[in-house]
Structures are given as structure tokens and as C-alpha cells.
Amino acid sequence: PVLKEKFSYFGAELRGQTFCPDNIEEIKKAILQFKEQGTDLIALSGGMSVDPDDLTPGAIRKSGAKVVT
């Protein structure tokens, strides 16, 4: 709800929301589904950290997208 409110403030439309387990292929799959829908901005929140074991940045890269911090 917080991100939806913040994006709405700037005129962005929320197209969907997905909850993924800590699994690189599941995260990549979710990103690709939003890309296929023509989504302009895909925001990921939650489990991302600077921990070398964090799978989210790798999933983002594997999807062909860029990690923006």
C-alpha cells in the first residue's frame, strides 16, 4: 500500500503486484511477466540487501533488466 500511494502521487498506475519466494527463477519469471505486459517500471521491494547471498539482483540481471539503487 505504501509504494502504491507513492507511485500514485506521481501519476503512475499500479498494474499488479506479485509475491515471490526467495528463488532466482521465480523472481526472474515475475519480472519477465511484467515486461511482457509492457510495464514501464518494475519496482521490487522487500528481500533486497547488500548480502552476497541475496538473489534479487541476480534475478533482475538474468531478466535483462538493470538494477537501480
pLDDT digits (tens, 9 = 90+) for 42-67: 998 876 566 777 888 899 999 999 98
pLDDT at 27: 95
- The pTM (predicted TM-score) of the whole model is 0.82
pLDDT at 15: 86
Query: For 19-42, what is each residue's pLDDT tens digit?
Result: 999 899 999 999 999 999 999 999
pLDDT at 50: 67
CB burial of 15-54 (b: ≥16 within 10 Å; e: otherwise) equals eeeeebeeebeebbebbbebeeeeeeebebeeeeeeeeee
Rounded to an integer, what distance in angstroms lies between the CA atom of residue 33 and that of residue 7?
20
Q: Where are the alpha helices (DSSP H) in the chain?
A: 2-9, 24-36, 56-62
Number of CB atoms found within 10 A of residue 58's CB: 13
